[in-house]
Amino acid sequence: MSQQQRMIFHKNSKVSDYFSLVKISHTIFALPFALIGFSLAIHEHTNSHFLYLLILVLICVFFARNAAMGFNRFVDREIDSKNPRTAFREIPEKIIRPGSALLFVLLNACLFIAAAYLINPLCFYLSPIALLIVIGYSFTKRFTYLSHLILGLGDSLAPIGAYIAVTGSFALIPLIYSVIVIFWVAGFDIIYSVQDVDFDKNEKLRSIPESFGNRNALMVSALFHFFAIALVIFAGLFRPFHIFYWIGVIIFSAILIYEHLIVKPSDLSRVNMAFATMNGMGSVIFAVFVILDIFIR
């Protein structure tokens, strides 16, 4: 599609512009773990309003992620315009104006807080803290190579938040899944970041690949994914789960191992496959088997 054709397409589809801005398809990373947290809570605390709560949880995930990604695109607009890999994004290409993107962020942030208010008081009180974490991530690459873990922390709010939506309280098992998400997301974000190591050095942006090189970064990514797999196994023993859960563990673990086999310091051609395709599949498949195990005995 030519540049002119792309501009005509976007002018005629404003909603798709904003969905593209926030990479709406990437919701598939955090959402399955939110559904795990929700399912655990419903199974342990029967609630006659579970459908109403499920809708509100899905709305919260949607609006919080839109606010976070929209703010990231707004804050990084100058950086994105310099990077050949990201120069086509909506703000650098002037498909969406910076002011419009910021208004989109504020709207989604307000709707997230409103949805949290409709769930229960604890969700409402915690909602500004959640927003601070997911939005604050956008600044971290400017001063710390641990930004990958901050991104993971933002996504890790999904399972514990969904659990709190039902129960109004904290519990250990959804917290374990939150820690799993931290290491899982940080691991695949490092893989994604190896594409930009030279650009990050030139722009003085911090990341594990920029600080330690691609080879060492991929080793750290593998270590983080090892922690994620170990915690998935621990969670299965802690609850305990049954056969469906362990099938999910095997598939999820195999997918994580495979993505490290296809991305090498000398061959980054399949980074996008490892980052998006494999992790999207892994999260959905794992969630399906965990939820089956929760409700089918």
Output the CA torsion 261→262→264→270 (10° steps): -160
Predicted pLDDT of residue 22: 85
DSSP, collapsed to helix, strand or coil, labels residue 263 as coil
pLDDT in tens, the chain (297 residues): 344 444 444 444 478 888 888 887 777 888 999 999 999 999 988 766 889 999 999 999 999 999 999 999 999 999 999 999 999 999 999 999 999 999 999 999 999 999 999 999 999 999 999 999 999 999 999 999 999 999 999 999 999 999 999 999 999 999 999 999 999 999 999 999 999 999 999 999 999 999 999 999 999 999 999 999 999 999 999 988 999 999 999 999 999 999 999 999 888 888 888 878 888 899 999 999 999 999 986
Q: Judge whether 192 and 169 are in contact, CB under 8 Å.
A: no
* Domain residue ranges in the chain: 3-295
Predicted pLDDT of residue 134: 96
Predicted pLDDT of residue 297: 67
Predicted pLDDT of residue 126: 97
The model's pTM is 0.92
Burial string for 195-230 (b: 16+ CB within 10 Å, else e) reads bbbebbeeeebbbbbbbbebeebbbbbbebbbbbbe
Amino acid at 291: I
Residue whose C-alpha is closest to residue 275's, from 85, 39, 95, 107: 85
Predicted pLDDT of residue 61: 95
CATH of 3-295, one of 3.40.50.2300, 2.60.40.1930, 1.10.357.140, 1.10.760.10: 1.10.357.140
Predicted pLDDT of residue 27: 79
Predicted pLDDT of residue 103: 95
Amino acid at 24: I
Predicted pLDDT of residue 20: 85
Predicted pLDDT of residue 1: 37
